[in-house]
Structure 1
């Protein structure tokens, strides 16, 4: 016979097992109750309490038990095996009640065992699956948890993302989001896996695969090209990594590949968003041939369906904000100078900026915390605050409480469906504790809409800076060494660089015709700052005592912030309904279209990213709009980590 102590141990073990396997099925109360009855059935076989233990006394009251240590004698005798209850000590009715109680307790205990068996089977399957987050939505924190727990490795992640790219990039829906994958990615991942085991992770980005817009330079030994989508730069050798790449490498990120983009960051001419000579016509994953927006089109499409953990884009005017909205993402267009542009194929040093495009504001904050900072190769970064905030700490659900948020109306128009969703968003923001000031117009809004000063500045900057880029290359097999050479190259290679949708390169030609940074240029530059900042965003904030502005992401929204050099933070707002009339975005793409997403943007003054991230996060967490609709089924890759882990 087993001792009472052994029975207690067995019962305790069964309780722990029940808790372990019943938790995820909601059976914990039933299991604990049944196991307690099993305990009672065991105790019904011994004499009535109080029970004498070798190390204590259990004293009973009506509905509670307390344990008191009364043993001081080290030589206390161990408990003898109990004797079964003797019927001769009980009356007839008591004996019947005892037998009924014992059988009832035993029956309920058996039910508990069956529940445990079912729970074991069901929850083991769920537990196995939960080791591998769904890569369609997987966050950086989920991936880090799996990597830390050893459920999978960074090598597994790279293999999984490579397989997902293979499924939908050129095959199936042919989204053309990725220009090339990194042949060194698996080796990078293996080295980072080894480092994780030996000394832990460097940062939250350790071992996390990131896809880069194809205007962000990586050294030739990496095995990838940096071309802005143009064959004129295929095989060119850059002198060093871009500034943001140096920071990503230091943080332990895995460089997964290069994303497609609107060629030359949409500064070529009449070319549809998402088209490049090297990458072809990229399209949105939410409707066949829908406009992905650009110029960071591939980064947007890839992030939207989990072709990478996170992606990087660049913006001169709208190139992060618009594809973030069109692809159901969270994105940050930082203040000019918060992130380095060194080593990024330029349009304009006055407006270019690099930022994250991700599936959540949390992931965007994590990436921004890595890539933000000063760089001696980019003088604009030297103007940023000496100490930058930890953007992850901005992620608070109550961030909008007490904030004053303004709504510019004059000069800003949008689609009726977007307007309805925007009105609902304002109510949500108000419900989160913010004061909505509506309208809160930019005094310069109509002047911005009519002004061509931005075009003047960008045309001049592009020629000056692109010529400098070509000159900085260690080598370039195409022989192109200037903007004039580029225009000639495109004319000489129509099969490579003359798209079927549009055939001109008018923007390149206009830029080539400029005569440098003369008086007219500096006047336009100064007027841009006045319109966008002094009499624009800053004036609206100051005159209405505001913390931020809010607008739908698409349209004129991006231009005031672009010419001011100010930040925009964007999160999902909604989706076009199934009955929306399909419009044209060019011969090869459509917009609007059923199910295509659109975004909500928070704007602020210089280096106000921390506050904007908080506002966007609070709205995102309240609405969870991204989860309301997925991409079309054929655009969603099937490969998951469970298909990779443990396979050769």
Structure 2
């Protein structure tokens, strides 16, 4: 982002040139990878307006005139759809932009289009595949043919990694920013629930949903987080943000000495993985030590086994989804299919051929609709309190407190759950990739390559509520000492550059 902003300032190119370059890149690879569902037809007009503002000396901030993709569950009050990948919402209209989209516009970003996703943010089927949506097709990763892109922010991950936009926004309930970020060789920031508004984002769970950046560098992700964070009258969870006057400066947190003297815990009982991942992770601990961190081994989660056996998170998500989806649908100003609740959406999905039912079932919804309680019931509260214990005193927060830690570090695969169930932040950074002799392992459906040579993986820093500024610093200090991302190359890449479009439009 700094390089592009400098180029714009020096008049080497315009924002209109950037839009044309990125759209050129999308058109080169999208037929193969299906990462982008829609290009914003207003992109060119918005770019011209922002170029005019720049000429007049008006700059909105560091994102001014930079094209960003957003996940296709984040609403925009424009010509684009917001479908979560379902034909049930094709053509539906919203009363205003989602707050995070409005904040991007205010910051001067160009919303270039909508990124494809795992349908309904991976909350529909027990037998589908990451990155598939009826309205969007199957997303593929770019590091191995037929690669599982991970979910649910699949298109956001693939698009950011290949430079189909400067960066992208994803959403996470449990793993949907962290997992596709690590699989696509990216930095992903999953913020504390409430730091970024979820208003007019198609929901799963008010207790776990959060919106965050997916970018090629820690600093780029920090710029995006700075733009979208903050209180919002339409999301009462944001009222818990503890910073009184202004947010921390997430960009200034990017310091080489951020790890110096910091106590970083390693919960070995919560760490597993394939040998290449574990070897890279253990080597990364040495990098953290050299950066001045104090590595504290075996900061184990005391209720780890109970967490692994718990069904509490599933019940929380099931109950929240029924209520939260209804609330979203109630806000639509135009609803061509007339779906008003989950039962309606289920009926539509099971009867509309393009939704591929029953080949891709509705098992998650069947479970949600079979619940005999709501998210306002005592039963729900008991399950939610179980989550807060398993990720709190019995898990992540307990380890932070018991060992006086500044953060926890774990491989990104499997990192998300502990932070997800309590709504705490997590940041992933590129760590490595599978070696050339890695055996190819397909996903359960058999249509994607989930583990294969050259597929990337990451390392994650987890912390207490509202600790994003610290985690970003730790991630940056690690990133700058390793620069892993630059060592892992996609098998397919667009070739359009800014120079190719200068003066042609």
User: CA separation in 2, counterparts of 1:229 and 1:595?
Assistant: 28
Moved beyond 2 Å, runs of 4+ = none
> Is 1:587 the equivalent of 2:443?
no
Corresponding residue number in structure 1 for 2:263 = 404
Q: Please say if residues 427 and 471 of structure 2, whose CA atoms lie closer than 8 Å, have aligned partners that are also in contact.
A: yes
Q: Does 1:568 find its partner at 2:429?
A: no
1:421–1:499 distance in 2 versus 1, CA, 3 Å: farther
Structure 1 residue 503: deviation in Å? 2.1
439-448 vs 299-308, greater mean Cα deviation: 439-448
Displacement of 1:492 in angstroms is: 1.1
Secondary structure at the aligned position of 2:395 is classed as helix
Equivalent position to 1:484, from 338, 343, 351: 343
Deviation by residue 1:443-472 (Cα, 9 ceiling, x = unmatched): 122111110000000000001111121121
**Separation in 1, partners of 2:39, 2:114:** 6
Specify which structure has the higher proportion of helix.
1
Equivalent positions of 1:175-574 (< 5 A) are 175-219=33-77, 222-270=78-126, 271-385=128-242, 386=244, 387-494=246-353, 496-498=354-356, 502-514=359-371, 515-517=373-375, 518-555=377-414, 557-574=415-432
Most deviating of 240-249 and 186-195: 240-249
Distance 2:229 2:337 in 1: 34
- What are the equivalent positions in structure 2 for 1:607-626 lying under 5 Å apart? 607-626=466-485
- In the alignment, what sits opposite 1:125? none
**CA distance in 1: counterparts of 2:273 and 2:117, whole angstroms:** 25
SS in 2 for 1:600: strand
8 Å contact 1:553–1:599 — kept in the other structure?
Answer: yes
2:13 matches 1:155: no
Query: Structure 1 CA distance, aligned partners of 2:301 and 2:99?
Result: 34
Counterpart CA distance in 1 for 2:344 and 2:394 is: 40
Larger radius of gyration: 1
Give the whole-Å Cα distance in 1 for the aligned partners of 2:94 and 2:114. Answer: 15
Deviation at 1:587, TM superposition (A): 2.0
Q: CA deviation at 1:499?
A: 6.5
Where relative contact order (Cα < 8 A, 6+ residues apart) is larger, the structure is 2
Counterparts of 1:433 and 1:382, CA distance in 2: 36
**2:12 match: secondary structure:** coil
**TM-score of the pair, normalised by structure 1:** 0.76
Q: How many residues align?
A: 499
Distance 2:330 2:369 in 1: 16
Under a length normalisation based on structure 2, what TM-score does the superposition of the two structures give?
Answer: 0.97
Distance 1:273 1:408 in 2: 28
The match for 1:8 is none
- Could you list the per-position Cα deviations for residues 413-436 of structure 1 after superposition, in whole angstroms to 9, with x for gaps in the alignment? 111110011010011111111111
List alignment gaps of at least 5 residues for structure 1: 1-139
Q: Distance in 2 between matches of 1:448 and 1:205?
A: 41
- In structure 1, C-alpha distance between the alignment counterparts of 2:101 and 2:422, rounded to whole Å: 26
Which SS does the other structure have where 1:591 is aligned?
strand
User: d(CA) in 1 for partners of 2:18 and 2:370?
Assistant: 47
Structure 2 counterpart of 1:91: none
How far apart are residue 411 of structure 1 and its match? 3.4
Q: Secondary structure at the match of 1:470?
A: helix
Contact 1:330/1:357 (8 A) holds in 2: yes
Helix, strand or coil: the match of 1:394?
coil
1:612 CA displacement = 0.4
Write the deviation string for residues 44-63 of structure 1: whole angstroms up to 9, x where unpaired: xxxxxxxxxxxxxxxxxxxx
- Conservation of the 8 A alpha-carbon contact between 1:405 and 1:550: yes
Q: Counterparts of 1:508 and 1:160 in 2: how far apart (Å)? A: 41
